[in-house]
Structure 1
Amino acid sequence: MTHPDVRRVVIVGAGHGGANVAALLRQHGYDGTITLVGDETVWPYQRPPLSKDYLKGAMSDDDLLIKPKDFYAEQRIDIRFGDGVQVVDTSARTVTLGGGEVIGYDALVIATGAAARQLPVDGADLEGVHYLRNHDDALRLGNATVPGARLVIVGGGYVGLEVAASARHLGAAAVVLEREDRALARVAGADLAGFLAGYHAERGTRICTSADVVRLDGDEAGKVTAVVLADGTRHECDAVLVGVGAIARTEIAEAAGIACDGGVLVDEQGLTSVAGVYAVGDVTRRPLDHFPGRHRLESIPSAVEQAKQVVGHILGEAARPHEVPWFWSDQYDLKIKIAGLVGFADRAVLRGDPASGKFAVFHLSGDAVVAVETVNSAPEFMVAKKLIASSAHVDAAQLADPSVSLRDLVS
């Protein structure tokens, strides 16, 4: 099936969002042309394992692939890897690649993702300073994370903690420097953050909070040797990972006159401010059911859900309800899953004992569940997603009582 007005789809960006748009179009019977453009030379791959199993050497390059290499030819998806889009002309409905090739489209999907936020201090350009956004970054970081190496991680977010766990697994020393007064200050509740900080400390990772990095020092050869804090503390090192957030890659969209504000602005089905142009994934700021405003989610489930919405619109289907946003992280033997948005809560309810390594923190706004953070607790995660999706009101005392079945809380 092909919408009569959409014979040519061009997808800019070959990460999870872009690759899933291409695959889902064929899965749902689209028989027009599909061109998938990526600026990396490697086949579309999963990014979450870069800080975990891939960094530890437990996954190969083939394991990392989103789809097998022969999938794209079998599905008649025209690929352009290593030659990214430089210009989008929304009037002519064309894109121009770096090598000069011009490709026309009826529907354009922008899936350019996000770039690592740079560390704005002297010495940030020294050899041995790493960021982790792509496959090549992971290879370089892996080469530096060897037994006995001293790794300093600037930024105590999820990526920083995941890399710290991987580094300890590989026999390297890890120090995490966080500018805020606790790890995960912007993305997690205090209960989960405190538990994870203690778990890492027990396994040899130093987490230093209220740590304001002012410069990086290097040797005569230009290689990083220390991270220096505002109070004069020096952390000697062999390598540095900077993990201080990411910025949406909106340059192409902005140059094309597409509305952006901290990301490409899209509606419920991924439509931008320009007709025929969609956007998905980390580059977007999108609306969500149950949460007012627009949100930029760095989340594979969000990118895949948006891909489904975009494909549905291209094929002329009605909009689907939004999925509850969710995220995950693996650290040591901990399976961490989060649903909803913690920032919309006004109180937290703990269910289970963190000392057991298995618990959940429910986040409520009034009596309504708006988020959950779980550690090795898949049932609590699944129930909480249903509670959030249904805007259910719960009794906090029952929620905290492990003897009360969670099934009884779901109407």
Structure 2
Amino acid sequence: MKATIAELPKYVDKEVKLGAWIANKRSSGKIAFLQLRDGSGFVQGVIVKSDVEEEVFQTAKTITQESSVYVTGTVQKDERSPFGYELLVTNVELIHTSTDYPITPKEHGTEFLMDNRHLWLRSKRQHAVMKVRNEIIRATYEFFNENGFSKVDPPILTGSAPEGTTELFATKYFDEDAYLSQSGQLYMEAAAMALGKVFSFGPTFRAEKSKTRRHLIEFWMIEPEMAFVEFEENLEVQEQYVSYVVQSALKNCQLELKTLGRDVSILEKITAPFPRISYDDAITFLHEKGFDDIEWGDDFGSPHETAIAESFDKPVFITHYPTKIKPFYMQPHPEREDVVLCADLIAPEGYGEIIGGSERIHDMELLSKRVEEHQLDPETYKWYLELRKYGSVPHSGFGLGLERTVAWITGVEHVRETIPFPRLLNRLYP
């Protein structure tokens, strides 16, 4: 019976055949232990010399790290194993011998591991992170599909920028200027006017020269947009969505979170509703905490967000930021022109902002005024303005950064480990 490692619990006391790689091994004169991986998981294969042919045992003793094999054996329960099972091996067929594999079972520097990212992905820790990432993506589709959203794919090449062009990658689109998208939001607004509730999931690009543990040049965003949804309801959707993916990861990635040493008791508290603090109150709070460098009208940096988040055991919404530090499309507060109907969702434990969202301006006259104030080209944004000309409605949306969310849920310190092939300020290889 051919099986994967993930399927082994179904075959206790039965013989199976696995295609696998040798993650590690150790042996004595009478017994050999092979750490096997096949992409679906990791399992230990045990070979007892007296139970197999001499040739099989010699293969097991001399096989090298990351060699590929077919392994035949009987599945057994093993309470000592994190996986809960092991394989009593009866045969090993060598497919390919790996020679001088560079990532050995010892400490390696970060730059070395990043240079070998194509191989580093095979490690148990990186495998666990990628499996949690996959679960978050799976749960994302499930949540939005179950709540009546349609998936829409906005373009990656655009002629305009939602938040200005200073941090965009420019390219030539034949004889025109074009940019790699920093957000699909404007296009998702158009889609929401056609389909009601929509979401996108795709790569976005920021030419921001930042080296912090929270920043990537290329990252993935989930961007829902909803017609007839105002500010408060938008926040409710966000907290329901984040709660959903966290609980899904807890349910379906127990082994991976254990491999990563994640304190799941922290994640178990992540259920809606989430606390909220206004920007005004956040400024007062920071002054009380000794942050004299921040004034009303300034944007928050990492230390400020972390200080606020530390007062809560769940993600916290910071709401109603000053108009002047937010993008042109955000709806003003009905009673205050100096702040807008927006919120950033700050993750606990120092992981920073994972969601930015707002109610969008739906009045064409006001949006035209904002385009002018931000010195944007009205012709470039003509199609966007027309969304307010033909049946405009109140609408809201948000964007969740996948890699920061993966980092927070897994407890990984740096976002470079939460994407298969990170693009950083100093890294385009591999």
TM tier, smaller: under 0.3
Instruction: Normalising by structure 2, report the TM-score.
Output: 0.20
TM-score of the superposition, structure 1-length normalised? 0.21
**Rg (Cα) greater in structure:** 2
Kindly indicate which of the two structures has a greater share of residues assigned to helix. Answer: 2
